[in-house]
Each structure stands twice: as C-alpha cells, then as structure tokens.
Amino acid sequence: MNTLAFVFRTPPHGSASGREGLDAVLATSALSEDIAVFFIGDGVYQLQNGQDPAVVLGRHYAPTFGLLELYDIEAVYVCAESLAERGLSDAALTIEATVLSLPELQQRLADYTVRLSF
C-alpha cells in the first residue's frame, strides 16, 4: 500500500496551491490512513496565526487546517529551520504540529512512497 506525504512549500495567499493542497489532503484521508503533512520553506506561513487575507481579497482557509485532527491525520510536521528563518516559533502556529530539524524532517519524508507538493 502506498503511503502519502503532502508537502506544503508555498505561502498561503500568493496562489491557490495551499487551498488546493488542503482540499487534497482532506479528500485523500477518506481513502488512506497513512498520510502525513509537511510544512517546509514558505509553507510554514500556511499555519501562521493572525492571517488576514481579506486585505488581498483572499479566502481565509487557514482555520480549515484544524480539521486534520478530526480527519485522523496526526502526522503533521513543520521544519524548525524554516520557522526560524522567518522569525516564527511553534507558538505562532494555528494547529499542533511536530517541529523537526531539516535532517529529521527529510528522514521522515523519505518514509513515504508518494509525495505531493503544493
């Protein structure tokens, strides 16, 4: 059976990529139990508290990441280096996630046979 990793690398409001990725994660959770979600680079902004997309006429979908737990997606990882480079901490995240160093995160990511990047 394939294991699936969803990797978020883009900021939330520059494109529809983040919203589409989140929709894909939630839809796939109905078909597979072995799913993980990774936030790397600018993707850490997907989980940042205090977003106000109304300023750019965007839809505020960040609270929807809170559904990951409801959909039994417990493997959620955030890159520690990406947070630090952007002046963020795990306290600035909207959901509970495991913060890993880049080598640890890459090691976990290597465990998944299918990787989809958004």
The mean pLDDT of 65-70, rounded to a whole number, is 92
How does residue 85 score in pLDDT terms, banded at 50, 70 and 90?
A: very high
Residue 116 phi, psi dihedral angles, 5° rounding: -115, 130
Indicate yes or no: pTM above 0.75. yes
What proportion of the chain, given as a percentage, has pLDDT over 70?
92
24, containing H or E segment: helix 17-28
Order the strands of the 4-8 sheet from edge to edge: 98-100, 75-79, 35-39, 4-8, 114-117
Q: Tell me the domains of the chain and their CATH numbers.
A: 4-117 (3.40.1260.10)
pLDDT for 14 beyond 90: no
